[in-house]
């Protein structure tokens, strides 16, 4: 146990102790801690096990770059798998457990993998597990893989979404971000400043620098206060900018409650922002790179900057005696921070040959600084006991015989810094390799985005602030604001100085076996793995990544990618600039799937549309189902009836008396204008040019590929005024389609299209007593058979309310579709039920209507047809041949395949086995003697039990079916065959006498 | 097989070779394939070093004895849709033409690890297609019968049975699970391994695999191809085969013709890895979700295409938000799991979701394109049939229906329509 | 997520729009004088450029008006928005 709590200092609130558990053991931390810092303060050094070898691992970093400290938080509905301990604000009662270790972190059975490491290098699984079969090995491998555990209960939290637009979005609330936001904000521009941290200040929080003459804290406080006061500026902390998308859209994830004790959480957990910014300034800082040397993964080996952050910000020291290994000046600053706070600096090994000014300063103060030296090994298993240091020769090879063994309990390394260019790259930005800082930096981008401060590769704070101030003002000016340049703040301390790239400490000349040198800690990728990949010709940076899994872990290689590219440079003899990077993908840090889903959960995924008389249907015992997004009664169950009995009863009621059906979802599109007739004639297969006012005609619509798109009744309400009916699910589609043709292809036609489906509630009064029932109402329309024949439409008033009545039928009985303004729908339904009592009126549902239309052989588009059905397949060949004019899709009906005589055609199917059981919809039609595998002749598309006929009836699509009426076929459903005969569709009242009463 | 070709011990993979190399510090492995420089002339040139191109080269060499051939890849092999897809393999197709082809491909997959001596990790964990309303159930009936009649394995189960087999499914999703069609032989494989395994096996048979070699033009004389121009020099050849997925239109334009193709960005993502929780592949059209769990533990989620032409392989939000909502509706426990990475692949979509494997308007120039969102499962089958087409200058019977001519005759093989998606 | 400037409503997010595919297609006719090949070209064959694409869009969840867009399929940058029936502006990289 090497970490401990410093007695004073830090940005923790010692007056607010918090208790938490890790692996079942209770600990105490303070408000302001992260889970990571609290564990460090409690001396817990081993926080996890690695993915493959189950090596013990401790904290490497202090931020979202952390690869090792992966935790399972809480359980049940609150469980959170795979969170980084460094990104979790401590709260009272927090319960954390390590992942990927069994039975416990300190005794993990699968650490046995480590012993076989030599036999299971990168990608070994492609070379084995082939005999006898992969399936024998896979289950064990699956169980061994994975990190945390998926929550076992349904998520109960709420996730919000919000859109925002701004002029300047500044990502990163460190010094550069604050400065840029201040400069932009003063112009009055709409500025948003976001940071995933709970606190503002970024790297300044872990330093003892001064801004101007004041401590950094004062400056941070002043700027934040000014920004808070600016009316057009918005600050969002605990908010991660996770993705940069097209046209300036940045995705943010704001954590609203994750930092609170479970009992205090209420309201949405996360808020998912989609911010459209005219200009984006990325002040996302830089990520320190670890040095790559044998056993660099031991708990206690950390990034130097992280060590300083833990000590300065969280008052949690990583150890009492530290060895530093650096290749640039930033490590000295970290060392100075730790030393000031009382940590003993045992030695600093600097890979660079000469002493830098900072190094000299440090040496002068009595610290052992070894130049041209680096760390070559760590002694200790679950914690650090000592560091081995060696001299480096000019080629970067450790020199045999130059060893120094330094006792210590923590090792802090700095291998340089990589600007966080993830969002820049996601925006389409191109990178270049900067030799000065040995990292990839922004080059150019097609979107309005600029990286400032360390994110832009500028490691001098004073210079970074100057750049940020300029960028902030310039961004505001780009958005049309009169932004003056502001005087940037200055910061004491220098930049990181030059750097000696040591991508991999070369220990090949040293005596003795050393452990592996780790690049990707979470995925257990070593420099040997990269070498192996290259030896096997996986030389592209993407191949190395995929072959070794370097950078594919849940940290997405934040600390490992650039080191990996550096190792590749050595192995390939190709400069890093040419090796290039893998692609940066959103999200920057993992984001909850629930946040992406937002409020689109449960019924909000696709809210169901209610009928006008929904309450009445409910009262009548309706069994509702989702029909194309409408909540409609399938049938009405009485006295515990099942569906079959209810449909049978309702169907007979319609055939024998009168039924009532709410048909409001029927698509209704008004088409008006001087050229409406011409337009509709082009839109329908049928000849609509001859349709007269007050008349209806059934018609079919195609897409340009000739496929039957929809059908419905077209009613001519008057000269130049039509009402087009569509199936209930298709109204919007057809209206859109009409608009597209009118605007894009035939703009010369004078036509207006308006969908009015939900303007009118429609009640279908259906059955031989339908007229008698309607006559109970005071109606301005003469309902007499001769005055208002079948396939006619009338407009008028019913009980003083506007109505449209169409005498059309989908049941084969006398039938009126009465439309009233939607708001009158419910009361009209009630009145119809009341008035119908004397006729024994029965409400009926969709399934009953379907049964009635199948008995009649009426086609239902989408059930009997599919995306291949042409009009001639459903009997419209004659209609086409009689029509001279072109219509949408006509040419497609003339292609060779459209004219084949063995196309599937719409027919009836009559059961021959005497069973009352309907055929299965989706059963296939076969020749009587054939058995599978067999070529299908078609399939059953609709099938019901006909109460009126006392037997099952069915419809189907059968190859050349119309020519084969009378032929016997086999109906085949998953091995079960039934005999049937092809017939004409329409078993009930084939002459249609009942329609014209 | 009793007689086997002698094994080159530096190149044959086995537990024994791993053991040997374990004692050899892994130093003895030969390159999986050679980085060939392009020669001046080949008997055939395949453009595109993805699964399709590499498989084609392998079968050309193995089955048709053509070894003076090259695969030209503008970047790194397997870097296109092969390396960015959600790896589902299935043959649950509706039409006999499709079923025959895709089942042939699936059968090749079943033997591929041994054939290539490369573990492609084909895991036949089953593939579910879920229905959520009466019509959907009817369409599954139609589909299961079609599959059985086509000689493909298929099972239909009711909603309760689906829930019993996938217990983590929601108890009350917005779209109720009313039935499921299971193809047990369906599953997933390791996508990169397909490209690398074929590359290695093709290379062993003498095929030149040339990376970082972009084709910039074609030499066409009297309507017949005589060579290709590349960023690494001109190459003479009488046979050129395209296998470039989303970029097919671009190369066709260089050759002087257009195609019935639109390129779209197909969105996909993975979650962070967790311990095994989903042991099958599940597709729900209503939810816009295609989901499985990889051997590494990540949820691999196929989303939908952005419905506008694109060659930008970048992730986008709208369809991913839709898909996330679908994932949460089906599996409410996944709400708290996190997306780790999202991306897109450029797919070449034809109107009927059926590809073209066959001849082009230019003599000696062959087409393998139009796979849309489903090319991965077709890699072995298409490689085999395409090799046949190239070697014999006529389509393989299994892919003969997949011709360009169908767009004129109207003989489309519309699988979306067959699955009832179009209505 | 694209931002498209509807000529009638102004800049809006992609999700409000629908892309109708390649612009300036000519519908061949009369129907009885069109060859199968011509019809297939019109129905299915597309330029599908990697670069500037001329396409028509509709403000589906807005004013429902159709208009044309010149857009890069590689960067998604929108270079021009122009009305139905108008000819595309001269742009580098366009075919017409």
Above 50 in pLDDT, residue C96?
no
A:B CB pairs within 8 Å: 330
A740 in contact with chain C, both atoms CB, cutoff 8 A: yes
Report whether pLDDT(A37) > 90: yes
Number of structural domains in chain B: 2
Report pLDDT digits (tens) over C45-61.
999 999 999 999 999 99
Question: How much is the average pLDDT of A146-175?
Answer: 97
**What CATH code would you report for A159-286+419-478?**
3.50.50.60
Q: What is the mean pLDDT of residues A461-467?
A: 96
Q: Residue A45 and residue A31: Cα distance in Å, rounded?
A: 21
User: For residue B412, which of C28, A956, A737, A895 has the smallest C-alpha distance?
Assistant: A895
Query: B169 and B79 share a domain?
Result: no
Same domain assignment for residues B74 and B101 = yes
Nearest Cβ partner of A743 from C32, C36, C84? Answer: C84
Contact A247/C65, CB-based, under 8 Å?
A: no
Q: Tokens 């020519």 identify what position?
A: A963
Check CB contact under 8 Å for A537 and B32: yes
Give yes or no for A739 touching C (CB within 8 A): yes
Neighbours, chain B (3 or more CB pairs < 8 A)? A, C
In the CATH scheme, what architecture does the domain A1-153 have?
Roll (3.10)
C26 touches chain A (CB under 8 A): no
Instruction: Give the separation between CA A310 and CA B324, rounded to whole angstroms.
Output: 36
Contacts of A163 in chain C (CB under 8 A): 13
- Same domain for B226 and B309, yes or no, is no
In this complex, the residue of B32, B139, B336 whose CB is nearest that of residue A536 is B32
Are A246 and C84 in contact (CB < 8 Å)?
no
Question: Would the pLDDT of A458 be above 80?
Answer: yes
Are A540 and B211 spatial neighbours (Cβ–Cβ below 8 Å)?
A: yes
Instruction: Examine residue B122 and state whether it is found in any structural domain, yes or no.
Output: no
Q: Is the pLDDT of residue C95 over 80?
A: no
Q: Is residue B384 assigned to a domain?
A: yes
Contact: C36, B317; criterion CB under 8 Å: no
Residues 59-88 of chain C with CB under 8 A from chain A are 60, 64-66, 75-78, 84-85
pLDDT confidence of residue A738: 98
Higher pLDDT, A337 or B1: A337
Which residues in chain C touch residue B351, judged by CB atoms under 8 angstroms apart?
Answer: 43-44
Whether residue B4 is contained in a domain is answered as no
Of A143-147, A750-754, A832-836, B160-164, the least confident: A143-147
Select the residue from C1, C19, C44, C94 to test the B interface by mutation, using most B Cβ atoms within 10 A: C44
Q: B with C: how many residue pairs have Cβ under 8 Å apart?
A: 68
- Interface check B29 vs A, CB under 8 A: yes
Q: Tell me, what's the pLDDT at B418?
A: 81
Q: What is the CA radius of gyration of chain C?
A: 15
| Nearest residue of chain B to residue A79 (CA atoms) | B336
CA–CA dist A310, A35 (Å, integer): 11
Q: Is the interface score ipTM higher than 0.85? A: yes
Identify the domain containing residue B270 by its residue range: 127-185+262-349
* pLDDT confidence of residue B9: 56
A:C CB pairs within 8 Å: 61
For range A309-330, the mean pLDDT: 97
A861-906 per-position pLDDT tens digit: 999 999 999 999 999 999 999 999 999 999 999 999 999 999 999 9
Chain B residue with CA closest to C34: the answer is: B408
- On average, the pLDDT of chain A sits at 96
Is B10 a domain residue?
A: no
Contacts 24+ apart (CB under 8 A), A120-124: A120/A52, A120/B18, A121/A528, A121/A529, A121/A532, A121/B21, A121/B26, A122/A525, A122/A529, A122/A530, A122/A532, A122/A533, A122/A547, A122/A548, A122/A549, A123/A532, A123/A533, A123/A547, A123/A548, A124/B18
**Using CB atoms, which residue from B258, B310, B318 is nearest to C47?**
B258
Task: Report how far residue B71's alpha carbon sits from residue B45's, in angstroms, rounded to the nearest whole number.
Answer: 6
Q: Cβ of A974 and B156 within 8 Å?
A: yes
Q: Decide which of B315, B349, B383 is a domain's last residue.
A: B349
Q: What is the pLDDT of residue A599?
A: 96
Closest-CA distance of chain A to residue B220, Å: 32
Cβ of B262 and C50 within 8 Å?
no
Q: What is the pLDDT along chain B (423 residues), one digit of tens a residue?
A: 344 444 565 689 999 999 999 999 899 999 999 999 999 999 999 999 999 999 999 999 999 999 999 999 999 999 999 999 999 999 999 999 999 999 999 999 999 999 999 999 999 999 999 999 999 999 999 999 999 999 999 999 999 999 999 999 999 999 999 999 999 999 999 999 999 999 999 999 999 999 999 999 999 999 999 999 999 999 999 999 999 999 999 999 999 999 999 999 999 999 999 999 999 999 999 898 999 999 999 999 999 999 999 999 999 999 999 999 999 999 999 999 999 999 999 999 999 999 999 999 999 999 999 999 999 999 999 999 999 999 999 999 999 999 999 999 999 999 888 876 644
- Contact A843/A681 with Cβ under 8 angstroms? no
Q: Which residue of B has its CA nearest to C49?
A: B250
Please provide the distance, in angstroms rounded to a whole number, between the alpha carbons at the two ends of chain C: 28
B328: CATH: 3.30.9.10
B139 shares contact with chain A (CB less than 8 Å): yes
Which chains form contacts with chain C, at 3 or more CB pairs under 8 Å?
Answer: A, B
Residue among C1, C55, C75 minimizing CB distance to B309:
C55
Reported as a single tens digit per residue, the pLDDT across A189-240 is 999 999 999 999 999 998 888 999 999 999 999 999 999 999 999 999 999 9
Query: Looking at B349, B368, B394, which one is the last position of a domain?
Result: B349
Which of C25, C31, C52 to mutate to probe the A interface, most A CBs <10 Å? C31
Best of A272, A428, A744 to disrupt the C interface by mutation (most C CBs within 10 Å)?
Answer: A744
Give me the CATH number covering residue B401: 3.50.50.60
Chains in touch with A (≥3 Cβ pairs < 8 A): B, C
CB contacts under 8 A, C 33-72 vs B, are 36-37, 39-41, 43-50, 53, 55, 71
Query: Residue C93 has what pLDDT?
Result: 60
Q: Is B114 buried (19+), middle (13-18) or exposed (0-12) by CB count in 10 A?
A: middle
Report the residue from A81, A124, A426 with minimal CB separation from B337: A81
Q: Taking 90 as the threshold, does the pLDDT of residue A278 lie above it?
A: yes
Give me chain C's average pLDDT, please.
Answer: 95
CATH of domain A900-996: 2.40.30.110
Helix H or strand E encompassing A971: strand A968-973
CA distance A485 to A487: 7
Touching check for B174 and chain A: CB below 8 Å?
yes
Closest CA to A468 of A310, A281, A654, A295: A281
Nearest CA in chain A to C32: A891
Closest by CA to B283, choosing from B84, B143, B97, is B143
B410 contact residues in A (CB cutoff 8 A): 706, 892, 895-898
Q: Residue B347 contacts by C-beta under 8 Å, 6 or more apart in sequence?
A: B81, B245, B246, B263, B264, B265, B266, B305, B371, B372, B373, B375
The DSSP string of B399-418 is TTTS-TTHHHH-----HHHH
The dihedral built from the CA positions of residue C75, C81, C87 and C90, taken in this order, carries a sign that is negative
**Boundary-marking domain end, from B317, B349, B381:** B349
Q: A573: how many CB neighbours lie within 10 A of its CB?
A: 7
Element (H, E) at A432: strand A430-434
Inter-chain residue contact B312 with C19, CB threshold 8 Å: no
Segments making up each domain of chain C, as ranges = 3-83
CB A64 within 8 Å of CB A72: no
Q: What is the DSSP string of A796-844?
A: EEETTEEEEEEE--SSSS-EEEEEEEGGGHHHHHHHHHHHHGGGT-EE-
Summarize pLDDT for A504-554 with one digit per residue, the tens: 999 999 988 888 999 999 999 999 999 999 999 999 999 999 999 999 999
What DSSP state is assigned to residue A748?
Answer: T
Work out the minimum CA distance from A682 to partner chain B, whole angstroms.
22
Q: Which of B298, B337, B406 to mutate to test the interface with A (most CBs of A within 10 A)?
A: B337
Using a CB-CB distance cutoff of 8 angstroms, which residues of chain C are in contact with residue B308? 2, 19, 55, 71
Instruction: Quote the pTM value.
Output: 0.96
Maximum Cα–Cα distance across chain A: 116
Nearest CA in chain A to B172: A602
* CA quadruple A958, A963, A965, A969: dihedral sign: negative
Q: What is the CATH number of domain C3-83?
A: 3.30.2270.10
Residue B156 lies in a domain: yes
- Which residues in C lie closer than 8 A to residue A896 (C-beta atoms)? 36
Rounded to a whole number, what is the distance in Å from the CA of B307 to chain C's nearest CA? 7
Which of A276, A449, A743 is the best substitution to test chain C (most C C-beta atoms within 10 A)?
Answer: A743
pLDDT value for B417: 84
pLDDT at B3: 45
C31 interface with B at CB cutoff 8 Å: no
Are residues B102 and B196 located together in one domain of the fold? Answer: yes
Tokens coding C9: 């409503």
C-beta atoms of C1 and A745 within 8 A: no
To the nearest whole angstrom, how far is the Cα of C62 from the nearest Cα of chain A?
A: 12
**What percentage of chain A has pLDDT greater than the value 70?**
100
B367 contacts on C by Cβ (under 8 Å)? none
Nearest CA in chain B to A926: B149
């Amino acid at each position: 146990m090497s970490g401990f709590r410093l007695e004073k200092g830090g940005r923790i609130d010692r007056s607010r102790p918090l208790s938490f558990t890790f692996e079942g053991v209770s600990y105490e931390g303070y408000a302001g801690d992260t889970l990571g810092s609290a564990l460090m303060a409690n001396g817990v050094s081993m926080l996890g096990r690695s993915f493959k070898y189950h090596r013990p691992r401790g904290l490497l970093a202090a931020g979202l770059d952390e690869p090792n400290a992966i935790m399972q938080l809480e359980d049940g509905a609150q469980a959170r798998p795979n969170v980084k301990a460094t990104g979790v604000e401590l709260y009272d009662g927090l319960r954390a457990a390590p992942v990927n270790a069994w039975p416990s972190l300190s005794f993990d059975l699968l650490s046995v993998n480590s012993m076989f490491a030599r036999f299971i290098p990168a990608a070994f699984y492609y070379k084995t597990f082939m005999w006898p079969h992969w399936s024998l090995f896979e289950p064990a491998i699956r169980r061994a893989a994975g990190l945390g555990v998926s929550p076992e209960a349904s998520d109960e939290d709420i996730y919000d979404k919000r859109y925002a637009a701004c002029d300047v979005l500044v990502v990163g609330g460190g010094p550069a971000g604050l400065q840029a936001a201040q400069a932009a904000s003063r112009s009055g521009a709409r500025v948003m400043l976001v940071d995933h941290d709970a606190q503002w200040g970024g790297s300044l929080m872990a330093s003892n620098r001064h801004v101007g003459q004041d401590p950094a804290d004062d400056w941070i406080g002043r700027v934040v206060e000014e920004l808070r006061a600016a009316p057009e500026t918005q600050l969002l902390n605990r908010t991660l900018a996770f993705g940069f998308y097209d046209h300036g859209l940045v995705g943010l994830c704001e954590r609203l409650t994750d930092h609170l004790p479970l009992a205090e959480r209420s309201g949405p957990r996360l808020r998912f922002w989609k911010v459209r910014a005219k200009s984006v300034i990325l002040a996302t800082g830089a990520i320190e790179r670890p040095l790559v040397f044998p056993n660099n993964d031991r708990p206690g080996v950390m990034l130097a900057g992280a060590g300083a952050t833990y000590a300065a910000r969280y008052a949690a020291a990583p150890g009492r005696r530290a060895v530093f290994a650096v290749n640039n000046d930033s490590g000295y600053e970290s060392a100075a921070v730790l030393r000031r706070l009382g940590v003993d600096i045992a030695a600093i090994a600097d890979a660079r040959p000469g002493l830098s000014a900072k190094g000299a300063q440090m040496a002068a103060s009595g610290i052992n600084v070894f130049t041209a030296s680096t760390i070559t090994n760590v002694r200790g298993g679950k914690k650090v006991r000592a560091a081995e240091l060696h001299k480096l020769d000019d080629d970067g090879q450790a020199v045999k015989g130059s060893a120094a063994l330094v006792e210590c309990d923590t090792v802090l390394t700095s291998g340089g810094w990589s600007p966080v260019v993830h969002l820049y790259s996601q925006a389409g930005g191109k990178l270049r390799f900067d030799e000065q800082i040995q990292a990839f930096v922004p080059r150019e981008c097609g979107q309005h985005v600029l990286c400032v401060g360390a994110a832009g590769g500028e490691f001098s704070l004073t210079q970074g602030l100057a750049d940020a101030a300029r960028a902030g003002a310039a961004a505001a000016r780009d958005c049309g604001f009169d932004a003056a340049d502001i005087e940037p703040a200055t910061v004491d301390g220098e930049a990181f100085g030059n750097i000696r790239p040591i991508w991999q400490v070369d220990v090949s000349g040293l005596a003795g076996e050393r452990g592996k040198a780790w690049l990707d800690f979470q995925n257990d990728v070593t420099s040997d793995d990269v070498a192996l990949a290259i030896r096997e010709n996986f030389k592209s940076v993407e191949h190395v990544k995929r072959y070794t899994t370097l950078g594919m872990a849940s940290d997405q290689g934040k600390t490992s990618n650039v080191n990996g590219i550096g190792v590749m440079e050595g192995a390939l003899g190709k400069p890093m600039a040419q090796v290039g990077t893998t692609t940066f993908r959103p999200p920057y840090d993992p984001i909850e799937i629930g946040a992406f889903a937002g409020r689109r959960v449960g019924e909000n995924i696709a809210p169901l549309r209610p009928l006008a008389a929904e309450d009445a249907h409910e009262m009548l015992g309706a069994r509702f189902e989702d029909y194309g997004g409408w909540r409609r009664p399938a049938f009405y169950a009485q006295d515990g009836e099942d569906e079959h009995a209810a449909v049978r009863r309702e169907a007979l009621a319609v055939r024998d008396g009168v039924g009532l059906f709410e048909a409001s979802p029927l698509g209704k599109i008004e088409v008006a204008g001087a050229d409406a007739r011409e337009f509709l004639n082009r839109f329908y297969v049928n000849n609509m040019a001859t349709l007269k006012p007050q008349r209806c005609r059934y018609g079919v619509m195609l897409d340009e590929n000739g496929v039957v798109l929809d059908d419905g009744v077209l009613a001519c309400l008057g000269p130049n005024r039509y009402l087009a009916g569509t199936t209930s699910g298709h109204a919007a589609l057809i209206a859109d389609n009409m608009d597209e043709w009118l605007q894009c292809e035939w703009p010369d036609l004078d036509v207006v299209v308006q969908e009015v489906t939900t303007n009118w509630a429609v009640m279908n009064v259906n059955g031989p007593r339908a007229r008698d029932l309607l006559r109970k109402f005071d109606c301005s329309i003469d309902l007499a058979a001769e005055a208002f024949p079948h396939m006619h439409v009338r407009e008028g008033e019913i009980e003083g309310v506007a109505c449209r009545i169409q005498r059309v039928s989908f049941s084969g009985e006398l039938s009126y579709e009465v439309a009233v303004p939607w708001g009158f729908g419910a009361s009209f339904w009630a009145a119809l039920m009341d008035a119908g009592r004397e006729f024994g009126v029965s409400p009926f549902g969709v399934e009953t209507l379907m049964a009635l239309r199948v008995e009649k052989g009426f086609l239902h588009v989408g059930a009997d047809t599919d995306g291949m059905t042409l009009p001639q397949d459903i009997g419209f060949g004659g209609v086409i041949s009689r029509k001279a004019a072109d219509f949408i899709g006509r040419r497609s009906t003339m292609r060779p395949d459209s004219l084949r005589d063995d196309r599937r055609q719409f027919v009836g199917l009559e059961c021959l086995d005497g069973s009352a059981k309907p055929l299965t919809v989706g059963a296939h039609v076969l020749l009587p003697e054939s058995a599978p595998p067999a070529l299908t002749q078609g399939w059953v598309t609709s099938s019901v039990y006909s109460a009126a006929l006392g037997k099952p009836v069915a419809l189907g699509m059968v190859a050349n079916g119309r020519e084969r009426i009378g032929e016997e076929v086999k109906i085949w459903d998953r091995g079960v065959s039934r005999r049937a005969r092809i017939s004409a569709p329409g078993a009930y009242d084939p002459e249609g006498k009942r329609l014209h009463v | 097989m009793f007689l086997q070709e002698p094994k080159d011990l530096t190149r044959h993979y086995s537990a024994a070779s791993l053991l040997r190399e374990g004692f050899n510090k892994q130093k003895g492995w030969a390159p999986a394939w050679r980085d060939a420089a392009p020669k001046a002339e080949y008997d055939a040139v395949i453009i595109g070093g993805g699964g399709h191109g590499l498989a084609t080269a392998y079968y050309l060499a193995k089955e048709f004895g053509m070894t003076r051939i090259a695969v030209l890849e503008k970047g790194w092999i397997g870097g296109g849709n092969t390396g960015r897809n959600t790896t589902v393999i299935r043959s649950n197709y509706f039409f006999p033409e499709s079923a025959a082809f895709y089942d042939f491909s699936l059968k090749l997959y079943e033997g591929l690890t041994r054939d290539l001596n490369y573990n492609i990790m084909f895991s036949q964990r089953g593939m579910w297609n879920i229905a959520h309303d009466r019509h959907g159930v009817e369409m599954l009936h139609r589909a299961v019968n079609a599959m059985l009649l086509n000689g493909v394995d298929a099972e239909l189960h009711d909603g309760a049975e689906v829930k019993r087999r996938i217990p983590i499914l929601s108890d009350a999703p917005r779209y109720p699970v009313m039935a499921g069609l299971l193809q047990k032989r369906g599953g997933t494989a390791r996508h990169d391994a397909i490209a690398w395994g074929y590359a290695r096996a093709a290379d062993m048979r003498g095929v030149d695999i040339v990376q970082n070699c972009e084709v910039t033009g074609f030499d066409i004389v009297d309507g017949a191809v005589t060579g290709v121009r590349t960023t690494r020099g001109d190459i003479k050849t009488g046979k050129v085969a395209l296998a470039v997925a989303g970029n097919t239109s671009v190369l066709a334009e260089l050759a002087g013709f257009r195609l019935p193709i639109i390129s779209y960005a197909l969105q996909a993502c993975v979650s962070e890895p967790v311990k095994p929780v989903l042991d099958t592949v599940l597709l729900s059209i209503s939810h816009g979700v295609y989901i499985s769990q990889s051997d590494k533990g990540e949820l691999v989620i196929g989303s939908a295409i952005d419905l506008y032409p694109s060659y930008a392989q970048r992730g986008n939000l709208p369809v991913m938000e839709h898909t996330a909502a679908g994932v949460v509706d089906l599996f409410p426990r996944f709400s708290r799991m996190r997306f780790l990475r999202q991306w897109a692949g450029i797919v070449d979509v034809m109107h009927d979701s059926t590809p073209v494997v066959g001849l082009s308007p230019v003599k000696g120039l062959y087409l393998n394109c139009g796979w849309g969102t489903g090319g991965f499962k077709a890699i072995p089958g298409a490689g085999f049939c395409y090799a046949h087409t190239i070697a014999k200058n006529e389509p393989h019977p299994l892919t003969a229906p997949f011709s360009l001519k169908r767009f004129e005759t109207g003989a489309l093989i519309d699988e979306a329509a067959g699955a009832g998606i179009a209505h | 997520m694209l931002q498209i400037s509807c000529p009638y409503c102004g800049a809006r997010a992609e999700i409000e729009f629908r892309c109708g595919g390649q612009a300036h297609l000519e519908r061949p006719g009369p129907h009885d004088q069109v060859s199968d090949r011509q019809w297939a070209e019109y129905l299915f064959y597309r330029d599908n450029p990697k670069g500037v694409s001329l396409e028509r869009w509709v403000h589906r969840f807005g004013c429902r008006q159709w208009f044309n867009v010149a857009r890069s399929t590689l960067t998604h940058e929108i270079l021009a928005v122009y009305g139905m029936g108008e000819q595309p502006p001269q742009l580098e990289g366009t075919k017409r």
